[in-house]
Structure 1
Amino acid sequence: MSDEENPPQAKDDFVPKRKSKSAIWDYFGYKKEDVDQKQVICLECYKVVATKHGNTTNLSDHLKRHHKALYDEYKVKSGCEPKQKTICDAFASVTPYQKGSQRHKEITDAITFHIAKDMLPLNTVAKEGFKKMIRTLDRRYVIPSRTHFSQVAIKELYEKCKSKIEAELLSHVEYYAATTDLWSSRTTEPYISLTVHFLTEDFEIKSRCLQTAFFPESHTAENIGEALREAVAAWGLDETRQVCITTDNAANMVRAAALNKWTRLQCFGHRLHLAVENAVKNDGRIDRAVGVCKKLVSHFSHSWKARDALSKVQKELNLPSHCLISECQTRWGSRQMMISRILEQQQALTQVLSADKKVRHLIPTWQDIDVLESVSKSLVPMLDFTDALSGDEYVSVSFVKPVLQLFNTSLLEMQEEDTDLTKNIKKKILDYLNEKYEDDDTQKLLDMASFLDPRFKMDFISADKKTQVKARVASQMMECQEKSSCSTDVEPSASASASAPQAKKAKKSLGSFFKQSETVAKGDSSLSLKDAVEAELNTYMLTPPIDKEEDPLAWWKVHKLSFPRLARLARKYLCIPATSSPSERLFSTSGNIITCQRTCLKPAKVDRLVFLAKNLE
């Protein structure tokens, strides 16, 4: 007790327990003179704690009763928690899901969907970070091997998705449009794509990727045409129900469509690119000015010091902190954006380049600036139209004719303040587009699409063609009605006839007599079909057009019962894409899949992965 009444003044007077491993001994010790280490002393309150040799229970109880903060600290150090595991936790930590269980299949399917939809490499499932994430989410799930996902899971998902698309095409496709294009991967392997587009009965627009197939044959029109026909047949699609196919303007594509006797629509984006290229080619002034722009972009792209200096000058001059834009040879819009950015940053570029004698020659002259301003003024009005017409989630084909008229009457119309160069560029673009869209088949297709769009109707159809367009619409309405009548007039089968007498004869209701009278009246409907078509057509034309920013498909969904024959024609023509961008997007997806680390992917597997990435929902 004397020790407790007169505790030592310093903890240095105590020594730790010999050969101790427990963290509890950080808070207890022995006096130095206690050679045998029989009396345990608390280093906080200096009291003697009774305990047997090697037993630490009383020591932890002492801390818990008298020094709660030290006790909590001790529990953290020791890494043990007094909380006992629940039965569920104990069971979950030791019993993995069986491979055939529902939960195991759900998680495996979700991982497969994640890999296919987000275009991830299959070795993702073998990486430690991914495995740890899965263990954290569900400790009972044991992830299958990479081989399982490659050889089993992806194939099963592909077959399931393919069956779903086949059923959708069989049940919803009355008419469809298509797009196609050719592409070479980073390993120079050639591919041909095919997408289909259609409207459901509820006027929902659908786009489906059917293939990104390996195409090692020579890219002749005959081979391309045969490959496309085989692809359409493989999916059970009727060629007679194809409204048109949208392609670029390559000679082999044009001839392939002609050989298959398919109606073809030229890609508006590609045609506009060719029009711009035709307008600016063979002009030395433009070539020099654009060349200066390219050298400027190259200089600031390869010099960190130049970029840093440009950033500082931009702040000094209160200019936007924008980087220069590079040109893409196959996108005329990128050249226009490059020119606009050079003009925007002209003052900053001049100030930065003037400070370095070695690059002063890159400063654009006033003649170059005049040329760039003239080019920019002629091209800027058209910049947004390519992107706007490249979507596949809304109606685009009906916009082609209005856009062409807008170019002729407003956007590319000659202005008094225009320079001679600007006027020349505008004239060449208009002449080129008007010439290429004079084709009679193309005009008929665009007239039908524009007429069936409740935003435009006859607004952009020339006065001398309105009567012809109306007659063509009426003719096709009657054809659709006749085809519909033929498909619904099905004779009862023999088995149905045989089983009919066995059924109990139902008692006739009063309403059935009126139904019979209506059937008799419809027997002479062929005489009034022309009048019904004429009345429906006139009523549609008298209906006021909707706002230009409204959705025509939403309008048709509401009015399809009022105009049943026209609604079928709308489903036929409004599904056509104005550009071949859907096929080009497949190749962008392919490029994201065939990365530098995945160049050994086989073409068949590339086709599956692109198909899943575009069609999974």
Structure 2
Amino acid sequence: MERAKESAVWRYFTLATPTCSTAVCNVCKGNVSRGGGKTATFNTTNLIKHLQKHHAKEHAEFLQLNKTKGKGDNTAIAQQLTLADALQRREKFPTESLKALGITQKVLEFIVLDAQPMSVVEDEGFRRLLEYLEPRYSLPSRKYFSETALPELYKKVCEHISKEIKDVKSMSFTTDIWSSAVCPMSLLSLTVHWLDMSCKPHGAMLQAKNFHGSHTGDTISAAIKEMLDQWHIPLNKVHVILRDNASNMKKAMDNMGVRSLGCFAHTLQLVVNEGLLSQRSVSDAIAIGRQIVGHFKHSPLAYSRLQDIQLQMQMQPKRLQQDVKTRWNSTYLMIQSLLEQKRVLGAYIADNDLPSTLTANQWALLEKTSIVLAPFEELTRKVSSATASTADVIPAVTVLKRILAKEGDADTGIKTMKKTLLEAVNSRFDSVEDEPLYALATLLDRDIKTDTLQVHNLQRVQKMH
């Protein structure tokens, strides 16, 4: 009713009551029906027609007023169009319509790009969201996405990658084997890397397949060869394969007759492990720190008390970092977290028990250990980035050697660890500068600006050839 009264036509008509079925014309004082059989269906169509038929001057004024207000020249027709549009919105899109196919494609991309489970299309909250955004869209079933949409997308992506690498003369690869933490299976992966005509780097995961049986060099080489054959990549296009340092992986590459390099980050892991375990006092301090972190990890009550102390000291509540023995940088992060919470832990043990505590000397050892390991952690992050390349290896090893060889007063208590770390670096990276792949990559790297290093590498390359 209020909405109808907004029309400019009511400048020429008057209602005796809001629910009256007729309106009185202000010009001729005649009664004009408002149409419809009840209040909800009243409209202004008859009123407009009355002005048009009997009062031309007033009708012209009405049209001008409506036009000025931006409501068109016929409110009744506009209302009818709005009603038709509303009815149309209640109808679902045909399954094969461009709009429906487009939304389905975006839902599939959401699942793939964000690693969402297929079951998300059955989740009530997700379905409500789509219903609110577009009521006319019918979300396909989980079976459709898993058995039809995803295989079709996979096929398109494979065709695109095949087209991209078809004319590439030389490609590099990375491969690895890892075991699932949730089911008894192993996966073998193969990723390709190449440069386009403008020397822009590209990369794509070609396959991650279930790897059955014993992980011998023969079975690994056979599996990788099979994956290369599926992508129609001959061995003469394989520039180098980056692998871990396990003997079975090295043997697999030798069996295939391709050049390979061990993982730099994995070698750093071995170097740090030797250094950390070389000095009993340091390894003991780390073991006690691991017990302290484990205490809070397995006791919600203990962590709650620790959090209360953090708040009392006006510190942001933060959990202690648990380390994983197979990843040395997690041990570094654990040491860092313990050092950050040193005052909090001191306040905690005043009223609570811990399985073990660190002495003042052990705290000092952890601080010095953290300083020594900081460059290793930084290099690990750098070589683990998506933009890392073999050109980073020689400069990284050079920097590590210089840092570890430098002695200072702050080395008291960790000299053995630094010495062993330096020996491990020299031992495990002894031939890195004699490896043509590393030397050439460093020589050609645009980011290497030091002329001396360029000349040094060039001389080594000349000697190799």
Partner Cα distance (1:181, 1:216) in 2: 14
The alignment status of 1:175 with 2:176, answered yes or no, reads no
Matches within 5 A, 1:114-133: 114-133=110-129
Decide which of 87, 90, 98 is 1:90's aligned counterpart: 87
Contact kept? 1:180, 1:247, Cα under 8 Å: yes
Q: TM-score, normalised by structure 1?
A: 0.59
Task: Give the match's secondary structure for 1:296.
Answer: helix
Contact kept? 2:439, 2:460, Cα under 8 Å: no
Partner Cα distance (1:442, 1:135) in 2: 63
Partner of 1:435: 427
Partner of 2:359: 365
Decide which of 377, 401, 417 is 1:383's aligned counterpart: 377
Decide which of 242, 248, 253 is 2:249's aligned counterpart: 253
- The amino acid across from 2:395 in the alignment is P
Matches within 5 A, 1:396-415: 396-409=389-402, 411-415=403-407
**In the TM superposition, what is the alpha-carbon distance from 1:292 to its structure 2 partner?**
1.2
Partner of 2:51: none
The alignment status of 1:446 with 2:434, answered yes or no, reads no
Question: Kindly tell me: are residues 125 and 455 of structure 1, through their superposed partners in 2, closer, same or farther at Cα, counting changes over 3 Å?
Answer: closer
Task: Give the match's secondary structure for 2:347.
Answer: helix
- The amino acid across from 1:406 in the alignment is V
Contact kept? 1:182, 1:191, Cα under 8 Å: yes
Partner Cα distance (2:197, 2:332) in 1: 42
Contact kept? 1:414, 1:423, Cα under 8 Å: no
Partner of 1:196: 192
Question: Kindly tell me: are residues 270 and 462 of structure 1, through their superposed partners in 2, closer, same or farther at Cα, counting changes over 3 Å?
Answer: farther
The one-character-per-residue Cα deviations of 1:544-586 (angstroms, maximum 9, x if unpaired) are: xxxxxxxxxxxxxxxxxxxxxxxxxxxxxxxxxxxxxxxxxxx
Matches within 5 A, 1:257-406: 257-281=253-277, 283-317=279-313, 321-356=317-352, 358-359=353-354, 362-392=356-386, 394-406=387-399
**In the TM superposition, what is the alpha-carbon distance from 1:135 to its structure 2 partner?**
2.6
**In the TM superposition, what is the alpha-carbon distance from 1:318 to its structure 2 partner?**
5.7
Contact kept? 1:401, 1:460, Cα under 8 Å: no
The one-character-per-residue Cα deviations of 1:265-295 (angstroms, maximum 9, x if unpaired) are: 1111110011011112254323321121112
Partner of 1:559: none
Contact kept? 1:275, 1:433, Cα under 8 Å: yes
State the 4+ residue runs in structure 1 displaced beyond 4 angstroms: 55-61, 82-85, 315-321
The one-character-per-residue Cα deviations of 1:122-165 (angstroms, maximum 9, x if unpaired) are: 22223333333323333332222222222111111111111111
The alignment status of 1:150 with 2:146, answered yes or no, reads yes
Partner of 2:12: none
Matches within 5 A, 1:103-114: 103-114=99-110
Question: Kindly tell me: are residues 50 and 180 of structure 1, through their superposed partners in 2, closer, same or farther at Cα, counting changes over 3 Å?
Answer: closer
**In the TM superposition, what is the alpha-carbon distance from 1:56 to its structure 2 partner?**
10
Matches within 5 A, 1:559-570: none
- The amino acid across from 1:452 in the alignment is L
Q: Which has the higher contact order (CA 8 A, sep 6+)?
A: 1
Partner of 1:609: none
Partner of 2:212: 216
Partner Cα distance (2:103, 2:249) in 1: 44
Partner Cα distance (1:60, 1:462) in 2: 90
- The amino acid across from 1:92 in the alignment is R
Contact kept? 2:433, 2:439, Cα under 8 Å: no
Question: Which is worse superposed, 397-406 or 337-346?
Answer: 337-346
**In the TM superposition, what is the alpha-carbon distance from 1:462 to its structure 2 partner?**
8.0
Task: Give the match's secondary structure for 2:435.
Answer: helix
Partner of 2:408: 416
Partner Cα distance (1:56, 1:99) in 2: 39
Task: Give the match's secondary structure for 2:349.
Answer: helix
- The amino acid across from 2:383 in the alignment is L
Partner Cα distance (1:379, 1:86) in 2: 71
Partner of 2:448: 456
Contact kept? 2:405, 2:422, Cα under 8 Å: no
- Structure 1: which 5+ residue stretches go unaligned? 1-46, 62-81, 476-617
Question: Which is worse superposed, 114-123 or 260-269?
Answer: 114-123
C-alpha RMSD of matched pairs (Å) = 2.9
- The total of aligned residue pairs comes to 396
- The amino acid across from 1:327 in the alignment is D
Partner Cα distance (2:322, 2:130) in 1: 42
**In the TM superposition, what is the alpha-carbon distance from 1:297 to its structure 2 partner?**
0.8
**In the TM superposition, what is the alpha-carbon distance from 1:328 to its structure 2 partner?**
1.4
Partner Cα distance (1:120, 1:170) in 2: 31
Partner Cα distance (1:305, 1:182) in 2: 39
Contact kept? 2:243, 2:263, Cα under 8 Å: yes
Partner Cα distance (2:124, 2:311) in 1: 45
Partner Cα distance (2:124, 2:280) in 1: 59
**In the TM superposition, what is the alpha-carbon distance from 1:58 to its structure 2 partner?**
8.0
The one-character-per-residue Cα deviations of 1:488-529 (angstroms, maximum 9, x if unpaired) are: xxxxxxxxxxxxxxxxxxxxxxxxxxxxxxxxxxxxxxxxxx
- The amino acid across from 1:129 in the alignment is G
Q: Percent identity?
A: 27
**In the TM superposition, what is the alpha-carbon distance from 1:208 to its structure 2 partner?**
0.4
- Structure 2: which 5+ residue stretches go unaligned? 1-16, 22-35, 43-77
